[in-house]
Amino acid sequence: MAYKTISISEEVYLNLFALKKRNESFSDLFLRIIKREKPKPKLSNFYGKWKMSDKEEERIFKNINILWDNWKID
């Protein structure tokens, strides 16, 4: 296992220390945070995945526009 040294401010250290569970290493804390904050897939990854006819597309956009027209902001 490779080890790396990083520099962090005292404020960051104290905040990380407060998040760290008892008997949890900082490496485990970082992994826990990374898993929770894992980036969501990009919408562009799904382009072309849904096959539909032009008529279906037209109907979907028509319904979306109706919803936008009816949306009221208080």
Q: Per-residue pLDDT for the chain (74 aa), expressed as one digit of tens each? A: 788 999 999 999 999 999 999 999 999 999 999 988 877 788 888 888 888 899 999 999 999 999 998 887 76
Count of structural domains within the chain: 1
Cα separation, 13 vs 29, whole angstroms: 12
Q: Which helix (H) or strand (E) holds 58?
A: helix 54-70
Residue 28 is part of which domain span?
8-39
Q: Does 67 fall in a domain?
A: no
Q: Does 31 fall in a domain?
A: yes
Q: Does 47 fall in a domain?
A: no
Q: Does 60 fall in a domain?
A: no
pLDDT score, position 56: 93
pLDDT score, position 65: 92
Q: Does 64 fall in a domain?
A: no
Q: Does 16 fall in a domain?
A: yes
The pTM for the full model equals 0.50
Q: Does 61 fall in a domain?
A: no
Closest CA to 19 of 5, 36, 2, 6: 36
Cα separation, 50 vs 31, whole angstroms: 34
